[in-house]
């Protein structure tokens, strides 16, 4: 990989991570909303998600032989994914704002779908 890759520090605009990551092993892709359980919306198209999973498995298989490079590459892959997700949310928000600025009505359904995507992402981040 090239030396000018994106890192999670670039996204966070800081050089040190201050919050340790932990994950509850019982966590899945469901969110509890009051008493009802809801399946979270996918954040990526399945083909893109599968490509990222394949890249992760390839990267992970190199760890024993190249641990430092593998960790650096893992950071770059996570940063790429975060940047892609941020771009997706930013683009969706910009589309809604263009409609608002033009005086167009944004349907409640469009807003509901946008909020579902935000909720899915938010719930996943909290469960990391």
Annotate 7-20 with b (16+ C-beta within 10 A) or e (fewer).
ebeeeeeeeeeeee
Mean pLDDT on 27-35:
48
The answer to whether residue 21 is domain-embedded is no
Residue 41: closest CA among 128, 108, 112, 121:
121
Give the Cα separation of 2 and 96 in Å (integer): 36
Could you read off the pLDDT of 89-109 as tens digits, one per residue? 888 888 888 888 887 788 888
The count of domains in the chain is 1
CA distance 47 to 53: 10
User: Which residues span the domain enclosing 62?
Assistant: 43-128
Q: Is the pLDDT of residue 63 over 50?
A: yes
Question: Residue 100 domain-assigned?
Answer: yes
Q: Does 19 have pLDDT greater than 60? A: no
Residue 87 lies in a domain: yes
- pLDDT over 90 at 9, yes or no: no
Which stretch, 25-34, 40-49, 53-62, 117-126, has highest mean pLDDT? 53-62
- 70: in domain: yes
In this structure, is residue 55 part of a structural domain? yes
- 7 or 50, which is more confident: 50
Q: What angle do CA 10, 85, 122 make, to 5 degrees?
A: 100
């Amino acid at each position: 990989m090239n030396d000018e890759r994106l890192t999670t520090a670039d996204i966070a605009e800081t050089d040190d991570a201050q919050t340790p990551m932990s994950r509850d092993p019982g966590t899945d892709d469901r969110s509890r909303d009051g008493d009802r359980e809801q399946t979270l919306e996918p954040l990526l198209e399945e083909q893109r998600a599968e490509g990222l999973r394949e890249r992760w498995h390839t990267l992970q298989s190199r760890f024993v032989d190249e641990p430092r490079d593998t960790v650096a590459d893992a950071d770059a892959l996570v940063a790429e994914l975060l940047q892609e997700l941020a771009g997706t949310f930013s683009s969706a928000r910009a589309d809604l704002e263009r409609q608002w600025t033009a005086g167009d009505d944004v349907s409640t359904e469009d807003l509901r779908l946008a909020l579902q995507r935000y909720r899915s992402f938010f719930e996943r981040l909290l469960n990391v």
